[in-house]
């Protein structure tokens, strides 16, 4: 991960090595652009996980939707 600015998402998604992560942590101390971007990426991932939580749907609602969709 030589160019940290272009590979922030790899770090956020834990796709780099421990050495790459350490290098990025050092890079974040000097690069304001990456500091802002990594905060934004992490916040976005947190919001997406919250928004896509599986919810229990009542069977009656499922039946009502399926009846509507497949109504002839």
Residue 26 CA to residue 23 CA, distance in Å, equals 5
**Looking at residue 21, what is its pLDDT?**
85
At 14, list the tokens.
Answer: 């834990």
3-class SS of residue 31: coil
pLDDT band at 12 (very low <50, low <70, confident <90, very high): confident
- Arithmetic mean of pLDDT, 2-20: 81
Please state, in angstroms and as integers, the Cα–Cα distance from residue 65 to each residue in 21, 54, 58, following that order: 47, 18, 11
Give the range of the structural domain holding residue 13, as residue numbers without chain letter: 4-69
Residue 38 CA to residue 24 CA, distance in Å, equals 11
Question: Residue 1 pLDDT more than 50?
Answer: no
Domains: count for the chain: 1
Higher pLDDT, 13 or 53: 13
> Considering the entire predicted model, what is its pTM?
0.54
Instruction: Name, of 10-14, 31-35, 68-72, the range with top average pLDDT.
Output: 31-35
Residue 30 CA to residue 34 CA, distance in Å, equals 9
């Amino acid at each position: 991960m030589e160019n940290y600015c272009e590979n922030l998402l790899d770090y956020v998604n834990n796709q780099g090595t421990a050495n790459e992560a350490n290098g990025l942590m050092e890079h974040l101390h000097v690069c304001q652009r990456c500091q802002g971007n990594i905060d934004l990426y992490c916040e976005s991932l947190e919001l997406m996980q919250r928004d896509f939580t599986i919810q229990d749907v009542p069977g009656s609602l499922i039946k009502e939707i399926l009846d509507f969709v497949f109504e002839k």
